[in-house]
Copies of this chain bind each other. A is one copy, B any other.
Amino acid sequence: MSAPLEINPYVKNIQQLQSQKLARRSEQIQEDIRRGSITSFKEVIDVSSGNPHSGGLRPLTFVRQVLAACFYPELLDSDGLKADVKQRAEKLLKTCVGGSVGCYTNTAGIPEVIHGITEFISRRDGGVPCDPQNIFISSGSQWCLSNILKVLVNTKSSLPCAVLSPVPCYPTTLMSLRAQGGLHVPYRLTEEGGWVLKGAELQRALQSAQGVSNPVALYVVNPGNPAGLVQSRASIQEVIRFVYENRLFLLADEVYQDCVYGENSCFVSYKQVLMEMGPPYSHSVELASFHSASKGVIGECGLRGGYVELVNVDQAVMDYIYKMFSLDSCASVSGQMVLDLMTNPPQPGEPSYPLYCQEKEEIRRTLVHNALKATEAMNLLLGFSCQPVEGGAFMFPRVDLPQRAIQRAQEAELPADMFYCMRLLEEAGLMVIPGCDYQQEEGTYHIRICIMVHEEVLDELLRRLRTFHNKFMKEFS
């Protein structure tokens, strides 16, 4: 006699990810390894998500020492911590209500942490000012984005609200959008030449939406995920002109801003370009830019700290956004503190500076090395082609699967790249994500691999992939 619930159809509408099936299978395989019934590999290498510490990268000592002292301030009396670690912890504890990380903070975050973020943004953008009223901290950048979508997507509107989003696209954003009752209008990135964003394609996508939906926003990811494009200033200007002309809210996911590898690439923020362009753009384009402590060199995904900066957004809209954030009380204090440490690292002359630089440089060197090595290795494999990885945490090589493999996948009722990934997991203990989860262009197959791992892990994963792939291609050729 339980209630016959009518589930929210928007929630029902959220796509089922293939990666969830892979995650479940991976758990079974790990159990089999523990029980000794799998012996061909000793552990599953999981490069399905950007989770740097799981891939053998180390947390930054300064960050962890300050956090430990904030959690247990008695450590401030010990000899084990450097003076600047103690000073930073004391400073951060003073910003907490009651001097405790166990207290709620303001809805938008600890004012002093927000202030530090505004200084970071301003330095990054060559001095462009940043208003603390425009920053909201939350438990991750996706949660910020989701709160903004809740305000922008009006399910009572005569046509469904839509967001123009790239293809391929990180799926969580699209799932959040669908859960809100919004539609996804895809614009394709051009794989040849490095997943380039072309203005003509934005126009095509917008026209395709006319009459069937009400486009309210454009979503861009720079540096890219799953494909590691770093946009040029000219490309960003083109996007800004497009959203200006078409009155779209610009949602810029910039969480990989400190992960740029290409020799000729450099990260420029949407905010900076917008301000450089001057009026009418600079004072009218509504922009939300997202950043996170989960990504990049700091890589503290588990602490859940992200923020959004809003630009040119009406006060009334800001008030609604504030309300949405207030429903979650506040972000975790550890997440907020790690944002502070990320945006305001040790400075030259401070005792922690040398080690901090050394650790950071080592991670950065690893990432640059991995991006190059992995791309080269993939391009040597028959059937694989991989665009240069200029930035971000991932590569997204294309794989031309043999017709017989595609047929076998159809019989198994699986997308062909999912069939490939499942076999890769089962036979080689390597977990990557199939391109079908990223709304790739029909008829193409890809896999997404996180390259934010220790060099030894990369070597082992490339070895496993090579061996598996050659066997797979032989089996199905």
Contacts and interface: CB of A to CB of B under 8 A. Distances in A.
Given A6-B154, A247-B2, A247-B3, A67 B56 contact: no
B299 A102 contact: yes
A7 B154 contact: yes
A384 interface: no
Contacts of A304: 139, 304, 329-333, 335
A244 B316 CA distance: 43
A292 to B, nearest CB: 11
Contacts of A52: 102
Contacts of A103: 51, 53-54, 301-302
A288 to B, nearest CB: 12
Interface stretch (A187-195, A317-325, A349-357, A388-396): A317-325
A47 to B, nearest CB: 12
A181 interface: yes
A253 interface: no
Most buried by B among A7, A51, A284: A7
B72 A302 contact: no
A49 B329 CA distance: 11
Contact of A1 (B3, B142, B284): B284
Contacts of A331: 139, 304
A212 interface: no
A317 B5 contact: yes
A420 to B, nearest CB: 23
A283 B176 CA distance: 33
A224 interface: no
A2 B285 contact: yes
A232 interface: no
A197 interface: no
This protein's copies in its complex: 2
Interface string A71-109: 110110010100000000000000011111111110000
A302 B104 contact: yes
Interface in A296-340: 299-304, 312, 314, 316-317, 320, 323-324, 326-335
B302 A11 contact: no
A155 interface: yes
Contacts of A51: 97-98, 103-104
Nearest to A246: B3
Interface string A136-149: 00011011001000
Contacts of A143: 328
Contacts of A247: 1-4
A226 B23 CA distance: 42
A102 B363 CA distance: 15
Most buried by B among A103, A156, A333: A103
A210 interface: no
Contact of A323 (B14, B97, B100, B300): B14
The 10 residue pairs across chains A and B that have the minimum distance between CB atoms: A68-B72, A53-B100, A3-B247, A54-B98, A302-B333, A304-B332, A332-B332, A68-B68, A102-B300, A53-B98
Interface of A: 1-12, 14, 20, 46, 49, 51-56, 59, 64-65, 67-69, 71-72, 74-75, 78, 80, 96-105, 139-140, 142-143, 146, 150-157, 172, 175-176, 179-181, 216, 244, 247-249, 280, 284-286, 294, 299-304, 312, 314, 316-317, 320, 323-324, 326-335
22 contacts: A2-B312, A6-B216, A7-B316, A8-B180, A9-B156, A10-B156, A11-B323, A12-B320, A54-B100, A68-B72, A71-B334, A102-B300, A104-B294, A104-B302, A139-B332, A146-B328, A155-B181, A172-B327, A179-B323, A301-B329, A332-B332, A332-B334
